[in-house]
Homo-oligomer: A and B are copies of this chain.
């Protein structure tokens, strides 16, 4: 088969695995369950990844990288130089996060699930660290401009991320409280949380 169809198989498996992993935990998912959802045979899966663990790492990395992509989207790359730019950057980032939660609900839940420790390899771990850093940059900029609380930026990052993750979970669970307006209202609340 052509390389195009190979990647179709890879994509199908990665998608299926993300779904079932995020529904039932990596350990709670059987390989046949993945292959079934992907519409391929078990053996096929093993032609692309050497083990379930390796597949889980691949899924993890893909999800994390996707998250990083959303996070960066439309970012100028330079730190905001004044309050207005900061506000704009903040809104843009929050909207990107909102889009990610809406478009990739499984990815966020899977990635944010603690307890990956057991099987994540070095590469996955390094990626995780790098992505987590990205979120902190905006907060540090806000502090430099004197707009945000002068606390440990890691503390603020953790809190903002906590709000976001919990909202995403509620969203994915189909909570009635999580319509489009809610995400905007939440944005304002988070801005208050950050502001001095």
A residues adjacent to B (C-beta < 8 A): 22-28, 109, 113-118, 149, 151-152, 154-156, 158-159, 161-167, 169-170, 173, 175, 177-178, 182, 185-186, 189-190, 192-195
A115 contact set on B, CB distance < 8 A: 22-25, 28, 113, 169, 173
The distance in angstroms between the C-alpha atoms of A116 and B24, with both chains bound, is 8
A178 contact set on B, CB distance < 8 A: 155
CB-nearest residue of chain B to A153? B177
* Contact call B192/A151, Cβ cutoff below 8 A: no
12 contacts between A and B (CB under 8 A): A23-B117, A26-B28, A27-B28, A149-B185, A151-B189, A159-B166, A159-B167, A159-B189, A162-B166, A162-B167, A165-B165, A189-B193
CB-nearest residue of chain B to A168? B162
Work out how many copies of this chain go into the complex. Answer: 4
Q: What 4 additional pairs, Cβ within 8 angstroms, besides A155-B182, A159-B186? A: A25-B27, A28-B28, A152-B182, A155-B167
CB-nearest residue of chain B to A149? B189
A22 contact set on B, CB distance < 8 A: 115
* Contact call B177/A158, Cβ cutoff below 8 A: yes
The distance in angstroms between the C-alpha atoms of A186 and B193, with both chains bound, is 9
Q: Contact check: which of B114, B189, B194 meets A109 at CB < 8 Å?
A: B114
A156 contact set on B, CB distance < 8 A: 189
**5 shortest interchain CB distances as A-B pairs:** A162-B166, A27-B28, A193-B193, A154-B177, A27-B27
CB-nearest residue of chain B to A172? B114
